[in-house]
Structure 1
Amino acid sequence: MANKIQKSDLNKMFWRSQLIQFSHNYERLQSLSTLYALTPVLKRLYQDRPEEERINAQKRHLEFFNSHPVLIPFILGITAALEETTEEDEKDSVIAVKTSMMGPLAGLGDSLLNFTWYPIAGSIGASFAVEGNFIGPILMFLLINFLYFPLKYYGIHLGYSKGKELLSSNNGKKILDRITTSANVLGVMVAGALITSTVGVKLGISFGKGDGKVMIQDMLDQVLPNMLPLLLTLLCLYFIKKWNGKHVVAIIFALIGIAIVLSYFKILV
């Protein structure tokens, strides 16, 4: 592409990234707001391109996306660099890198920011507030954004510059493939941990009575712990992929109905 991204475009993207949390939908979560943030960059890159390419550029960034709002600017910076340096037939790699980073950075942001810095800032502000000092909530707000704003601003510029350096180096594509693979592996690990911690399926079926009573769930746990949550997750994934995500709500209500019926008959506990 002949057009080059300007610093002003990255700054516009920074200010727009402040509104990431203002536009959510339950189908694709932050996709619309991330497209809004990327719009100055896409306008710059596609201002002299055919209308069809401009439309396709917007459509590909409307796919499902969800990550930590403070670390999203870093992803946007790398995405901007990829958009600038790839041809139209290579744009699948842009979305692949963008989506591969959202899970790991979401986990990193939650652990370091939401569960560490946010409580620290809140406790400092609360210590003033409980004494009746009005500076408490103001201090909390300032402490949070004292860290969040630089992370967002430098995240965009660092992501863009490092993304360009990576892609311009001789081994750039190999390194990029390694990063993508590592991010995918970490994403799978996080997904596996979420399955065991959030999906609860426990059988209440047993054989025998008294001391000879045998619980089917105990037998399954000895063979493969959390086997039923895993099977249920894979089954849901199968139907979601089969129907291209069109009947997610129906799947949710079906699971709720089946769970109620099975619990009533003591099959599930």
Structure 2
Amino acid sequence: MENKITKKDLNKVFWRSQLIQFSHNYERMQSLGTLFGMSPILKRLYKNRSKEERIAAYARHLEFFNSHPVLIPFILGVTAALEESTEEDEKETVIAVKTSLMGPLAGLGDSLLNFTWFPIAGSIGASFAVEKNFLGPILMFLMINILYFPLKYYGVHLGYSKGRDLLMSSNGKKILDRISTSANVLGVMVTGALIASTVQMNLGLQYGKGDSAIKVQEMLDKVIPNLLPMLMTLLCLYLFKKWNGKHVVALIFIIIFAAIVLSAFGILV
């Protein structure tokens, strides 16, 4: 290709990647969004090419595509490098690599971001909000984007400069698998800590009266601290899986109603 991709072109891809989800549809998912992100690259590379070649270049990026929005810029960076370095009769390789990255990076993004960092940021923000501190949602927003924006920006540039070499190496897949596994372990640890610190459920039942009364909650805490919050969390998890994520709102209202009724009768305090 006679027209070389510039840093300015990659920056345009970065900014356009913020809008990838805006054209999400159930037929081809994020294909329109990724084409919108790739447009500055194709415009640069096919600036002096025929109309038929430009149409073919845009059309091949309309294939079905769906991955994690935060890590898509990395895929676009790799795709840009391949578009620049391959001939017209080799463009099937570009789409093959682009689509092959969908699944692994979607899983990596879900593990590392959706199930780890997002709950951490949300829990910290919620802890402020529970204390009636207006900084809660602002802090959550800042924590999320302080990580997401650099991942997108450097993802585009590193994907263009280094991503192809990493993926073509024999250890490329192993590196992605190790990162994903580590993220899952971290997510489980953080979630366990958050359950113990944020989920509150105490029994008000007791046997006897006065100073000699035996409080059921104190006995449970001596045997297994935070047993009830753990059981409630496991029950919610079981129901989420059984219902495939449906009826979440109904479950929330049921829990709130049950908590009010049980508190009125002194069973929960």
* TM-score bin, normalised by smaller chain: 0.5 to 0.7
- Alpha carbon RMSD of aligned pairs, Å? 1.9
Aligned-partner Cα distance in 2 for 1:56–1:27 = 20
Q: Which runs of 5+ in 1 are unaligned?
A: 167-171, 187-269
**Cα distance, 1:176 vs structure 2:** 2.7
2:120 is matched with 120
1:147 is matched with 147
Aligned-partner Cα distance in 2 for 1:8–1:112 = 29
1:176 pairs with 2:188: no
The list of structure 1 runs, each at least 4 consecutive aligned residues, that deviate by more than 3 angstroms after superposition, is 177-180
**Amino acid of the structure 1 residue aligned with 2:129:** A
Aligned-partner Cα distance in 2 for 1:131–1:51 = 61
Listed one character per residue, the Cα deviations across residues 63-114 of structure 1 (whole Å, up to 9, x for unaligned) are: 0000000000000000000000000000000000000011000001001100
**Cα distance, 1:178 vs structure 2:** 5.5
SS of the residue corresponding to residue 19 of structure 1 reads: helix
Structure having the higher Rg: 2
Aligned-partner Cα distance in 2 for 1:61–1:113 = 26
**Cα distance, 1:177 vs structure 2:** 8.2
**Cα distance, 1:20 vs structure 2:** 1.1
1:223-262 equivalences under 5 Å are none
1:161 is matched with 161
**Amino acid of the structure 1 residue aligned with 2:27:** E
1:22-61 equivalences under 5 Å are 22-61=22-61
What TM-score do you get using the length of structure 1 for normalisation?
0.62
1:19 is matched with 19
SS of the residue corresponding to residue 89 of structure 2 reads: helix
Judged with a 3 Å threshold, the aligned counterparts in structure 2 of structure 1 residues 120 and 141 are, in CA distance, closer, same or farther, namely same
Aligned-partner Cα distance in 2 for 1:27–1:121 = 32
Q: Which runs of 5+ in 2 are unaligned?
A: 178-269
**Amino acid of the structure 2 residue aligned with 1:143:** M
**Cα distance, 1:163 vs structure 2:** 4.3
Aligned-partner Cα distance in 1 for 2:136–2:169 = 47
What TM-score do you get using the length of structure 2 for normalisation?
0.62
Aligned-partner Cα distance in 2 for 1:117–1:29 = 24
1:192 is matched with none
Give the fraction of aligned pairs with identical amino acids, expressed as a percent.
77
**Amino acid of the structure 2 residue aligned with 1:17:** S
